[in-house]
Amino acid sequence: MHGYDLIVIGGGPAGLAAALAARAGGLREILIVERDIELGGILNQCIHAGFGLEYFKEELTGPEYAGRFIRLLRETDIEVALDSMVVEITPELLVRVIGRDGERTLAAKSIILATGCRERARGPLGIAGTRPAGVITAGTAQRYVNIEGYMPGKCVVILGSGDVGLIMARRLTLEGAKVLACVEIMPKAGGLPRNIVQCLYDYKIPLYLSHCITEICGEKRVEQVRVARVDENRKPIAGSEFAIACDTVLLSVGLIPENELAQAAGIGIDGENIETATPGVFVCGNALHVHDIVDKVTAEAQRAGAAAAAYVKNGGAS
Amino acid sequence: METICTVCPKSCNLSVDDRGAVTGNLCPRGETYGRNERLHPVRVLSSTVRVSGAIHHRCPVKTNFPIPKNEIFDAMRLLDDIELIAPVLEGAEVVGPWVTTREMAGA
């Protein structure tokens, strides 16, 4: 079986920086496996500026930040498998991939997990009400608008004040939607203060702190949400409830590292260290823990790439 | 006036007096931001335009320089009737202040 020095799972900012660092560390045969049809990961849909101030000392948009690494990658012979999804890894460092040419199992001397994170969805929130269309995560809306060119709705309420939700409040407003409220259960906003200012205040979008959505109403499509103030135990206060008519609810209520591959293989990840419990398997970026800014993902991924290179060059001893 | 700097994620709390003198900033960019915010607020804007012949139907764009805050919606309207044709280079001029922010190969 063909053996790679390193297989990087995920071609977003973490995977790109990790692969480049491993190459700089002396590894020859490197493969990046990416399930999307292009490299860049979530940066491709993050069209707003604000990336790169630490790493490049200038303010870039997401696609520009990704583009810099994609161009560096093109100057190497690092292999890239697009439209290809890793469905299993093993503690023996085998990687099962399903892609355009069917299924294949590849052997690696090291693996870097750079699989990013997922958004928390409606289920775990336990919001009462019906199950109409029009309830989607902020990141899904971002993809619809910025990559696919669809508007998810006309009158929008945002639940949670994570950065993606704030960014989408502005984006949807610019594209002609009415963003009626951003509802945050905590007494403080989740996203960066700069995003509160330039995404909500600039467009006079009300931010309801210490409030929650108690019910989502609507038959086929969202028709309204019911909002209430919460007490210090985050319980709705009786009599404080009011309704907001809307056709769309965006959820911006947290991100969760995507670590199903490691979990299924029994490979332990502690949420802090780029080394997993299995020698030769490393993890970085939002798959390890969720980062506020991509520059820190890049720095962490570079350490993971260097660590994988050192591991392989030492003949499998870290 | 009191404002929060939007230049970087540090989000400094700025105080700006009537003559545009800034305190509370951790870097020179914050001074420029605070003075502008008091005297003539500006923003860098991002959006997308139609593109044909590429792997997606939208190409991301930004204003190549900060534009006055009160001209944001006028700037947005400039993009309504634009359609790019792939291949598109990064940094290509689109219309008015807008430039592309990624390259898109012809599919």
ipTM: 0.93
Q: Contacts of residue B76 in chain A, CB cutoff 8 Å?
A: 174-175
CATH architecture of the domain covering A121-251: 3-Layer(bba) Sandwich (3.50)
Q: Domain map of chain A by residue range? A: 3-118+255-313, 121-251
The answer to whether residue B107 scores a pLDDT higher than 80 is: no
CA dist A156 and A249 (Å) reads 6
CB A165 within 8 A of CB A255: no
CA dist A245 and B50 (Å) reads 31
Q: How far is A54 from chain B (nearest CA, A)?
A: 9
Q: Domain map of chain B by residue range? A: 2-39, 46-100
> B44, A148: Cβ pair inside 8 Å?
no
CA dist A232 and A21 (Å) reads 47
The answer to whether residue A1 scores a pLDDT higher than 80 is: no
In the three-class reduction of DSSP (H, G, I as helix; E, B as strand; rest coil), residue B75 is classed as: helix
CB A110 within 8 A of CB A317: no
* pTM for the structure as a whole: 0.94
| CATH number attached to the domain at A3-118+255-313 | 3.50.50.60
CB A119 within 8 A of CB A135: no
Query: Is residue B35 within 8 angstroms of chain A, CB to CB?
Result: no
CA dist B103 and B90 (Å) reads 5
Residue among B101, B5, B106 at smallest CA distance from B49: B101
Q: Write the DSSP assignment of A49-75 as a string of letters.
A: EEE-TTTTSS-EEHHHHHHHHHHHHHT
> B102, A44: Cβ pair inside 8 Å?
yes
CA dist A34 and B82 (Å) reads 31
The identity of residue B49, as a single letter, is: V
Q: Enumerate chain A positions whose Cβ falls within 8 A of a Cβ in B.
A: 37-38, 44, 47-50, 53, 59, 61-64, 66-67, 145-149, 174-175, 192-194, 196-198, 202, 292-293
Q: How far is B94 from chain A (nearest CA, A)?
A: 16
How distant, in Å, are the alpha carbons of A63, A81, B55 from that of B106? 17, 19, 8
Query: Is residue B105 within 8 angstroms of chain A, CB to CB?
Result: no
Q: How many CB atoms lie within 10 A of CB A87?
A: 12
Express each pLDDT in A143-194 by its tens digit. Answer: 999 999 999 999 999 999 999 999 999 999 999 999 999 999 999 999 999 8
pLDDT at A140: 97
Mean pLDDT on B39-62: 96
The answer to whether residue A123 scores a pLDDT higher than 90 is: no
Query: Is residue B69 within 8 angstroms of chain A, CB to CB?
Result: yes
Which one-letter DSSP state was computed for residue B41?
-
Continuous segment of H or E residues that includes residue A256: strand A255-257
> A197, B57: Cβ pair inside 8 Å?
no
